[in-house]
Structure 1
Amino acid sequence: MAVAPARWLLRSRVHHCIDRSVSGHLACRLLSDIGGDDPKAPVLKVDNKGAISLCQNPMFHNRSKHIDTQYHNIRECIEGGKISIEFASSEEQLADVLTKLLGYVKFLELCPKIAVVEIDFPSYIWPLSAPPPLVPLTCEAKNTSVGVTEMRRKPVLICCGVLVAVVVVLAAVFVALYFTVFRPRAPHVVATVVGTETLAFNVVPPVLNLTMHVEVTVDNPNYASFRYGDVVTVVRYHGAAVGQSVVLVGEIGARATQTITATVEVDTLKVIFTPYFPLEGIVGVLPFETATAVAGKAVVLGTFKVSARSEVVCEVTVYPLRNNATTQCTSTVHIGR
């Protein structure tokens, strides 16, 4: 019972071989009758070595005893030179194009070997007009074939699509972070004249010893440190600079607030030799103006940058006889300067 499937398979192979040999022999005779030439022995390509051995070897053995005498006709054809049998591997069976469901690449490889052509139908309706031209199939079994190229291109296109999608997602995330959490913002700068010291004051002879204390508060709202340059505070009297103070560069931490203190000593000579001092000295009211400038840059995540410059101008009215002062400040912020 174990050898029954093998016997059936071998018999089917031989039967199939016989059918093909008879058909080939008849076709050769028909072509010979039409053309008038002597028929040549057709070549029958078989991919089963057992069937070839059985056709060429007349030896009788147990596994072939069940084969009927009629199936030995192919052996007589081979001995008489009417049929020639050659071995062909399964990959070289041209008939598979018409008998089996092949893959795309294998189909394209076997098509030109049996002269299969592709009919390219134009816009007109055939056969109402001239028949369409026959275009040979441009299919080869090389790595440069259309099928192989398209199959290799598909993973590349998928990878490129995934890469583009990742880049788009990352770009969207960065844009969202830029306009929400990590958006660079200008620092808030507030300057205040916290006090004035009038150590000496006289109109005739003119004497003035005046010192101003200015506090500059910088609030950094960014998620990165804010690096500022020299903080310069200038004191003016009727538009003329009469004093200046410089605080060196520094850095304010992320989302932190820092207060910078500046002390400005007023140049007495520049004040008393102006034409405004005698009259204002008699009245006891000296109008000054302080201007404090803070410029720096904040960098978020090493990518988002913002440059800001803030200037605070204070109108300071000094009452030297009472040794006090009043102030009124305005602030201006410039982004990207």
Structure 2
Amino acid sequence: MIDFFIYKASLSGAIFGLTLFIAAYSTYAERKVAAFLQDRIGPDRAGPFGIFQPLADGLKFIMKEEMIPVVSNKFLFIAGPCIAMLTALMAGVIIPWGGTITINGTAYSLQIADLNIGILYVFGVVSIGVYGIMIGGWASNNKFSLLGAIRASAQMISYEIAMGLSIIALIIMTGTLSLGEIAANQAGGVGGDWNFWNVVYQPVGFLIFLICAFAECNRTPFDLPECETELVGGYHTEYSSMKLGFYLFAEYINMFVSAAVMSTLYFGGYNFPFMNDLGLSPNAITTIGTIVLFGKISFFIFFFMWIRWTIPRFRYDQLMNLGWKILIPLAVVNIFVTGLFLTFFGN
């Protein structure tokens, strides 16, 4: 039992550190991707090829003078970025980062907590995250910050509905809410052992989920809550120092977690083609599977960045029309079609 708790604590610490590391270097990757798409060099001063730029940014945020507006609600002003950061980190505990690994005859799962309501847990944590933005914007006592917070809450609530409906079709098909079971059901090799990834069965659901993930992460073309041309800086206009850093960092953590969830739900998670036909040991398969999962996550993170520097920002009315008039009806139709198909053609 003690070994089990030590393992879980170690795994939790490893995932926590890895999440922060990937989020930090996603800022570096974003600058390099933007530079590539715009035919620029990007960061190249802090270390070889600019690889120490995230460390320089973090040091700058920590050392920068911190200002709290006199007219703000100081407690909530501080609590806002803390909530945003905390909820961003909480979702990683139910993601299966790999299969099982055997150490001294004992099998250990590379999933911190395999909840039987894993998907509901993700939505619960995400729904709390909007409070961090809303509280920060309101506590600033600034009309531009408040407007950004209202935009963020309306946007996230609207797109959470479509995202939840897109997941219902997947739940109907898989029959489980556990991310561990959903990932395990997509494993396979050849012949009768072959299993397609869920994106083959739910392409419309994946497309809806992907669009909603952009909106949930406040990424372009859905970054209206922090639209600098209209709102100065949106909900974090009054923030400086590491409190601003927390808001910006939480966005990249949310992007990483969203990529991990999409990879798990629709692209097999840690599974890869012909994994059961290579003749390798279970530990080797688990190791390769974890590397494959992070490869899928890296692709989706790159896709987030690619879209940001390719598509212009929507108007706010276009944003809400897309959510309420297109994505939600499309998600309902997808549920209906999935139910009919499983009723007449399912096993």
What TM-score range do you get, normalising by the shorter chain?
under 0.3
More strand by share: 1
More helix by share: 2
- Per the normalisation by structure 2, the TM-score is 0.20
Q: Relative contact order: is structure 1 or structure 2 higher (C-alpha 8 Å, sep ≥ 6)?
A: 2
